Structure 1
Amino acid sequence: MKFIDTHAHLQFDFYDKDRDEVIRTAFEKGIKSIINIGTDGPTSKMAIELARDHKNLFATAGWHPHDVTKYDEKKLLDFLEEDKVVALGEIGLDYYRNLSSKKLQKEVFETQIKIGIEKNLPLVIHDRNAHQDTFDILKKYHPEKVVFHCFSGDYTFAQDVLEQGWFISFTGVVTFDKGSYYGIIRDVPDDKYFVETDAPFLTPYPYRGKRNRPEYVEYIIQQIAEIKQKTPIEIARQTTENAENFFCLNKKLD
């Protein structure tokens, strides 16, 4: 089976001692591509540098809601010109930690949405305890390509997102909180979801509590296959196709 991990943070310092080995092992163990997600200026820059150094590793650039006090539009625009940047993100709202004011989070979120639309780039959305505000702001501009990374809403919210033509993405949480996701996974259209590790975070069972790795996306696929009553190969093939289409990877993959 071949997999695409659509959301990882391999530039984070959790990987400083063995980053190249982690990337190499991921590709050896079935990963077809990894999308490395930026969360501010330095992490977006490093994601791009890693993507330059590794074929089939791609990058995004954007300012996470925790980091909007340091938002730099000139840097963002420069990052988005890079050939291996395939989306803008992760961007959005986080009312769980509130490390930035809600007002500033909303302002920078809207600014980045408008840039993404102008650049015709997919948007990778961070939404934590802010479902309605996140949805309302996105609906105001209605970008075409949107994925709710690490989807954490309920069944009704999932249907609201899907009705807009947007995507949802599942992490390792589905392996240890199956009850919360069962109906969502069962009913999500085959062409409207991805899988992701969010490495180094949200490690799936049976490695929960340890540092996450891209190849662990296999355990997420196995859980989805069980719920959808399909084979893991079918889920791997479908999610890979979905990611390639959404991020326009077909012409970039070796």
Structure 2
Amino acid sequence: MNPIIDTHTHIYLPELNESLENLVGRAREAGVTQMLLPAIDSETHQQLLQVADTYGYLPMMGLHPCSVKANFEAELSIIKNYLAQRSFIAVGEIGLDFYWDRTFEKEQYEAFHQQIALALEYNLPISIHSRNATPEAIDVVRQYPGLRGVFHCFSGSVEEAEAALATGFYLGIGGVVTFKNGGLDKVINAVGLDKVVLETDAPYLAPVPFRGKRNEPSYLTHVVAKLAELTGLPEATVAARTTENAQHLFNIKG
């Protein structure tokens, strides 16, 4: 198997920390040579950076839309300080989430725009979370020519995929592509792999045959296998293309 990059994984969360050394070992055996670690909020920034520094993985910095509350300006101030102090691979994960609660919808938009401004200031891509808000997130991205990034955990329609790709963004594809009624088979058949990167979103959204269980980066081999099945390409080709895409988008040296 060619080297694989997990472009979105939360292996620093407590659900995975108990067996982190074993998890990293399994990932390496599966060919996962690099991981990108998106931020959530200030409660976990230290854990994120500690894991990134310990294993040589690449941290992002940002405020997750589900963590956008009345105090979001204070959270953004912390993010600005981090970005000024050290290097990050991207600003993320940021965006909009209208699945659980829209109480702070206005604040989510404001935080999204402010963090896009930071990404442009530091010439970084962004990782977008857009649960139940993909069209709205695409509308925001269209306002910023030259902005680059990925729609993390993309699970929209073919039309939404084409609209996202038209902005120059990539699609983050993970375990959902293996779900029987996930709908991503139609997306991949329509748009191919030219702008696809791999991700797990671990510990969430494990692929079949682990659906409903704790996800981990080594399971990306099942995502690669499904993409190979859908495209008719060898698994090695799927791994190589998606890794090249990730290296290009995030400016990762090969």
Give me the TM-score of the superposition, normalised by structure 1. 0.92
1:142 positional shift: 3.2
Aligned residue pairs: how many?
A: 250
Q: Which residue of 2 aligns with 1:64?
A: 64
Q: Which residue of 1 aligns with 2:48?
A: 47
1:189 positional shift: 4.5
Letter of the structure 1 residue corresponding to residue 148 of structure 2: K
Contact 1:40 1:62 in 2 (8 A): yes
1:186 positional shift: 1.8
Q: Distance in 1 between matches of 2:237 and 2:17?
A: 35
Contact 1:94 1:129 in 2 (8 A): yes
Contact 1:225 1:232 in 2 (8 A): yes
- Structure 1: tracts of 5 or more residues without a match: none
The verdict on how the C-alpha distance between 1:174 and 1:82 changes in structure 2, with shifts beyond 3 A counting, is farther
Q: Distance in 2 between matches of 1:85 and 1:170?
A: 22
Contact 2:98 2:133 in 1 (8 A): yes
Contact 1:58 1:85 in 2 (8 A): yes
1:49-108 Cα deviation digits (max 9, x unpaired):
2111112x1111110111112432232123224655200000000110126511111111
Contact 2:90 2:126 in 1 (8 A): yes
Letter of the structure 2 residue corresponding to residue 67 of structure 1: S
Contact 2:99 2:132 in 1 (8 A): yes
The verdict on how the C-alpha distance between 1:135 and 1:33 changes in structure 2, with shifts beyond 3 A counting, is same
Contact 1:44 1:59 in 2 (8 A): no
Contact 2:192 2:231 in 1 (8 A): no
1:12-62 Cα deviation digits (max 9, x unpaired):
11013112221232123311101111111232332222111112x111111
Contact 2:173 2:196 in 1 (8 A): yes
Q: Distance in 2 between matches of 1:240 and 1:81?
A: 28
Q: Which residue of 2 aligns with 1:35?
A: 36
Q: Distance in 2 between matches of 1:48 and 1:229?
A: 39
Q: CA RMSD in A?
A: 1.7
Moved more, 94-103 or 113-122: 94-103
Matched, 1:212 2:215: yes
Residues 172-251 of structure 1 mapped to structure 2, 5 A cutoff: 172-177=175-180, 180-250=183-253
Give me the TM-score of the superposition, normalised by structure 2. 0.92
Moved more, 86-95 or 185-194: 185-194
Letter of the structure 1 residue corresponding to residue 7 of structure 2: T
Letter of the structure 2 residue corresponding to residue 33 of structure 1: Q
1:152 to 145, 149, 155: 155
The verdict on how the C-alpha distance between 1:29 and 1:194 changes in structure 2, with shifts beyond 3 A counting, is same
Matched, 1:112 2:115: yes
1:178 positional shift: 5.6
- Structure 2: tracts of 5 or more residues without a match: none
Matched, 1:133 2:123: no
Q: Distance in 2 between matches of 1:68 and 1:26?
A: 32
Contact 1:65 1:93 in 2 (8 A): yes
Letter of the structure 1 residue corresponding to residue 41 of structure 2: D
SS at match of 2:208: coil
1:143 positional shift: 4.3
Q: Distance in 2 between matches of 1:236 and 1:39?
A: 27
